[in-house]
Structure 1
Amino acid sequence: MTQTDTTSAQEPVLVIGGTGKTGRRVVARLRERGVETRAASRSGDTLFDWADLTTWAAALDGVATVYITPLDTTPSPTPAFVEQAVAGGVRRLVLLSARGTDVPGFFGPGYEDGGPHGEGERAVRASGVTWTILRPGWFAQNFSEGVFLDAVLAGELALPTGDGKAAFVDADDIAEVAVAALTEDGHAGQEYGLSGPRALGMDEVLDEIAKETGKRAAYVRVDTDAFRAGLVAQGFEDVEAGLWTDALRPITTSAEAPVLDGVRRALGREPRDFAAFVRDAAARGAWG
């Protein structure tokens, strides 16, 4: 795939969510390529707040290419952002969506029509500019720097996922696909489903971590209703607790288990294995 001139110094790439799991990796790779990049977030070098529309215009000023890490709320602010971006001269959009957004019932009733990700996808497709959609499954990094880390460190991971499996995807693979779509030809109109190369259950995940760390957290299977009630007891709004529980459903049903070909189609190589992710994360001290 060949490099294009859309990422010239005169037209920086805007990375919405530039300090997040995928965003900061996208920023790092773009800057390694010498691409002028704006890391946009509430704490990034470019101020951007989804809830504060007054921050959007300055972030978009002079930009032709944007990577969008959306806000997972309903209604989604992504359609309004896309409209403003295109009106301001943006010509290429790469949207971080989610696996299953195009599959009815994938997440359950809390995500009808793909939920906020579906809203974002429809806006990007209708934008009239070059677009690429990334649909990753559950991130491997959720165990090393995300929602499951504290439980793993505490020695007990309690989830309503039963014996379900998922082909967890490495966030570094997501970032590499995003950078290719932002800077190269050949990705226009593509929808990339992104996964790892094999499916693992939670017990297998914890086994892989234990191989590198010598410490194994216990996986505790809990009832869905009890899990949701526990979230509410922790302070979650009932709607939030329901969405979070629905988000785990594709692991419970093993809908996340099939291996997808997006990494291979976009990059010409196989995705990184979970064991390789664990080795790297352990070497960086993710689990102490």
Structure 2
Amino acid sequence: MSAVLVMGATGKVGRHVVVRLRELGHAVRPVSRSSPVRFDWADRSTWQPALAGADTLYLNVWGAVGTADPAEFTELAVRSGVRRIVALSGRGDDGEDYLLKTPYGPWAQAVLDGERAAGESGAEWTIVRPCWFAQTFEEDPKLSELRDGEVAIPVGDGTVPFVDATDIAAVAVAALTEDGHQEQSYELSGPRPLTFPEAVAEIARATGREIRQMPVEIPEYVRRLIGGGYDRAAAEMQAGPFEWLHRGKTGFLSDGVQRAIGREPRDFADYAKRAAATGVWSAGSPK
């Protein structure tokens, strides 16, 4: 039986893709740098073994930044028998060129390169372009601050219609396993735009905890991250998307979830309740 190769299989979206494919009865090959069948963008000797026997590919290029050209991999994938590629990208608009000029630029360029690699590969292709994940609040530095009860993020009045990673995975799985999604680019968002303070307030309600919010400017945010152990390049990369948010480029709604799977996207409040029930934001949880 041919397999679906899932890259980034331990990530926020990839792990849900793996679970759903298995629920549907598909043979799945989940790969990462630590999986039994190992895949590492920086180690080309791992590419062919990962592709062996796969005819469908969930392409996640985030790990390719500074290490590999996604087109080189997709060309090898097609030569190895892959006939369908679903690429995880990121939602953009006329601010895209601006984002490329920020410290976040290499990551933005990588996802654009991934889109081109999928589209020019000769395989059937679908692009999945989500806005900011709701699950971003389960990652540092936001995670540690939420557990400590004080959040300092340079957000201003910008809004984001956070999309649940389970919705992203549902769209990806539909495109991987069903006909009718070829040559489609699905831009995904949640059902309503929220400011970061509004999102944090939803988390506070879901956890029953007081979470203080402290506004900071981007330079101060970078300094705080460096003081917390980040090197400057990593701190500036973390701050890059907030510059885009300040420009008002993130608050618009998209209908990709509805178009791809025929239902409304999950609301952030539902995500917050579900995540809070796991204890992820509880004070004193392991970091």
TM score, norm. by length of structure 1:
0.90
Q: 1:274 is aligned with what amino acid? A: F
The verdict on how the C-alpha distance between 1:147 and 1:131 changes in structure 2, with shifts beyond 3 A counting, is farther
Equivalent runs, 1:228-247 vs 2, <5 Å: 228-247=222-241
1:229 positional shift: 3.4
Query: Is it true that 1:139 corresponds to 2:133 in the alignment?
Result: yes
Greater shift in the superposed pair: 277-286 or 33-42: 277-286
The answer to whether the Cα contact below 8 Å between 1:38 and 1:45 also exists between their aligned partners in 2 is no
Does 2:35 align with 1:20?
no
Aligned to 1:210: 204
Equivalent residue, structure 1, for 2:51:
60
Q: 180-189 vs 62-71, which deviates more?
A: 62-71
Residues 247 and 169 (structure 1 numbering): CA distance in 2 closer, same or farther, change over 3 Å? same
Residue identity in the other structure for 1:36: A
CA distance, structure 1, for counterparts of residue 2 and residue 237 of structure 2: 38
* Offset of residue 46 of structure 1: 2.4
3-state SS in 1 of match to 2:200: helix
Work out the CA distance in 2 between the residues paired with 1:30 and 1:96. 16
Is 1:258 aligned to 2:258, yes or no?
A: no
Partner of 2:70: 78
Q: Distance in 2 between matches of 1:112 and 1:54?
A: 24
Q: What pairs with 1:22-37 in structure 2 (closer than 5 Å)?
A: 22-37=13-28
Q: Give the Cα separation in 1 of the matches to 2:155 and 2:86.
A: 31
Decide whether aligned partners of structure 1 residues 142 and 112 sit closer, same or farther in structure 2, where only a CA change above 3 A counts. Answer: closer
* Larger CA deviation: 170-179 vs 196-205: 196-205
**In 1, Cα distance between equivalents of 2:106 and 2:35:** 32
What TM-score, normalized by structure 2, do the two folds share? 0.90
> Do the aligned partners of residues 94 and 237 (structure 1) sit closer, same or farther apart at CA in structure 2, a change above 3 Å counting?
same
Cα distance in 2, alignment partners of residues 102 and 57 from structure 1: 37
Go from structure 1 to structure 2 and tell me whether the alpha carbon gap of 1:108 and 1:79 turns closer, same or farther (over 3 Å shift): closer
Distance of 2:134 and 2:107 partners within structure 1? 26
- Shift in CA distance, 237/84, structure 1 to aligned 2, threshold 3 Å: farther
**Aligned partners of 1:64 and 1:100: how far apart in 2?**
29
Q: What is the CA distance between 1:284 and its match in structure 2?
A: 2.2
Q: Once the 2 structures are TM-superposed, how far is the Cα of residue 150 of structure 1 from its aligned partner? A: 1.3
Does residue 224 of structure 1 match 2:218? yes
Percent same amino acid at aligned positions? 45
1:150 alignment partner in structure 2: 144
Relative to structure 1, the CA distance from residue 49 to residue 113 in structure 2 (aligned partners, 3 Å threshold; closer, same or farther) is closer
Look up the equivalent residue of 1:84 and give its one-letter code. L
CA 74–153 in structure 1, closer or farther in 2 if over 3 Å, else same: same
Moved more, 55-64 or 72-81: 72-81
Q: Does the 8 Å CA contact 2:124/2:183 hold for their aligned counterparts?
A: yes
Which stretches in structure 1 are left out of the alignment for 5+ residues?
1-9
CA distance in 2, matches of 1:70, 1:102: 22
2:41 touches 2:67 (CA, 8 Å); kept in 1?
no
Q: Deviations over 1:166-222 (max 9, x none)?
A: 000000000000000000011111111111000111111111111121113222221
Partner of 1:274: 268
Number of corresponding residues: 279
Q: Distance in 1 between matches of 2:138 and 2:211?
A: 13
Alpha-carbon distance between aligned partners in 2 of 1:112 and 1:39, rounded to the nearest angstrom? 25
Deviation, structure 1 residue 104: 3.5
In the alignment, is the contact (CA less than 8 A) between 1:71 and 1:77 conserved in 2? Answer: no
CA distance in 1, matches of 2:141, 2:78: 34
3-state DSSP class of the match of 2:111? helix
Relative distance call for 1:147 and 1:68 in structure 2 (3 A) is farther
Task: Quote the offset at 1:226 in angstroms.
Answer: 2.1
Q: Render the CA deviation track for 1:125-183: whole Å, top value 9, x for unaligned.
A: 11111011111111101113555211111112212211211000000000000000000
Q: Which residue of 2 aligns with 1:38?
A: 29
